[in-house]
Homo-oligomer: A and B are copies of this chain.
Amino acid sequence: MTTLDHGKYFTSLPREYYVSPEHFKTELDQVWARQWVYVGHISQIPKRGDYFTFELANESLLLIRDEGDKVNAVHNVCRHRALRLCDKPTGSVRKRLVCPYHSWSYALDGELKTATRQTDGENFDYSDFGLYKVHVDVWKGFIFVCLADEAPKPVASMIDEKSSADMDLIGPTRLKVAHEIVYDAEANWKLLLENGVECYHCPSVHPEFCVVLNAEEMSDYYDRDMVPEVVQGLVIPVKAELDSLSMDGSFVSKKLLGEFDKGVAIPAEFGAGFMTQPGYAWGGFHPDYGMVATTIPISATRTKMLCQWFVHEDAVEGVDYDVEELIKIWDVTNIQDLAIQERQQQGLSSSRYTPGPNSIDQEPGIRASLRLYLDMIGELEDSER
């Protein structure tokens, strides 16, 4: 008997893991601050000096495009008196980041260039007061950050060859974000993770999704005893006879992605994508479009989910695609899921909640993901390994 294993069945976690601010703090430090977290795509910052911000619990990060393909990631906190340097979600600077409080300025890599009316070296050295850096890894245009002192191994090294080759087919660096939604749920972020790694709930919760989903392929995605990578490839399988993951299974963008736009034949049951866990993000690409969702923990009982819909960088809105049609299947599905997670959070708060038996056949992904989670917070018991 361990946290997860109870004789013949396994469960999710006890209540405190989903409601306690102390557990949440531990998770920020031991999970979210140590793994690669998906934050956005290179196409969002095409030119030098372009930036976007990403908020993760109390942290505000600044992603800045530098020379060529280089992307810098720094803490969005002035080293003088702590001002949040950039308070818009996206923008562009010329050569310097300038603090609005006392006009201290920083280079695009965070180096302190001017402390107003104070000479470098007189009372302190400029070199000691650059912006705090964050590890950044750009994999095929997808930007990941890690808040830890030591970066994990590169994203590319975690993803298998097949997933990598499939992703190359959709031209991952030649995408654009056609639409973005930030959902807000009164639920612990792990409920979104657990929901995402099982499709046992699909028939009850997602009638529209089930019209196009190849649920059988989904259900054996996980093995109960697998040890997942933090980042890995992902295919969200569509029924063999359909073209794309849309309300009716047809394409929602006429301009196909990457090689398919150039006439390369679409492989049978094609799909590309990636996922991260325990800090949970997932991206699924079909021949015409893709969607990436990243969960953002706000507190023990509140989570945001940023969803981005991608099309070919040259696709034209109103001509090649219609936003409403493009986003519909995932928007409907996300709203259904988050409503469930909010009701689950309410139920969990009951003093009489006890973790119940999960299905060994239908929900093995939960055990796999929660073992990874427990391992990262130092609570995996030997018998669970």
Contacts and interface: CB of A to CB of B under 8 A. Distances in A.
B84 A123 contact: no
A294 to B, nearest CB: 20
A246 interface: no
Q: Copy number in this complex? A: 3
Given A76-B347, A116-B200, A82 B353 contact: yes
A347 B78 contact: yes
Contact of A118 (B75, B101, B201, B359): B359
Given A101-B201, A344-B101, A78 B117 contact: no
A260 interface: no
Given A77-B352, A352-B75, A347 B83 contact: yes
Contacts of A12: 81
Given A352-B59, A353-B77, A82 B123 contact: no
A123 B200 contact: no
A136 to B, nearest CB: 15
Contact of A129 (B76, B116, B122, B356): B356
Q: Is the interface of A mostly helix, strand, loop or mixed?
A: loop
A211 interface: no
Nearest to A128: B357
A107 interface: no
Interface in A312-356: 340, 343-344, 346-356
A154 interface: no
Interface string A108-139: 00000001111000111000010010000000
A205 B205 CA distance: 52
A203 interface: yes
A20 interface: no
26 contacts: A12-B81, A58-B351, A59-B350, A59-B351, A60-B346, A75-B352, A76-B350, A77-B350, A77-B352, A78-B347, A79-B354, A80-B356, A81-B356, A82-B356, A84-B343, A84-B344, A84-B346, A100-B340, A102-B200, A115-B359, A116-B362, A117-B200, A117-B359, A123-B360, A129-B356, A132-B352
Interface of A: 8-9, 12, 33, 58-60, 75-85, 87, 99-103, 115-118, 122-124, 129, 132, 194, 200-201, 203-205, 340, 343-344, 346-362
Given A9-B123, A103-B203, 17 more contacts: A58-B349, A59-B350, A59-B351, A59-B352, A77-B350, A79-B354, A80-B358, A82-B350, A82-B355, A82-B356, A83-B340, A83-B344, A84-B344, A85-B347, A100-B205, A102-B201, A117-B359
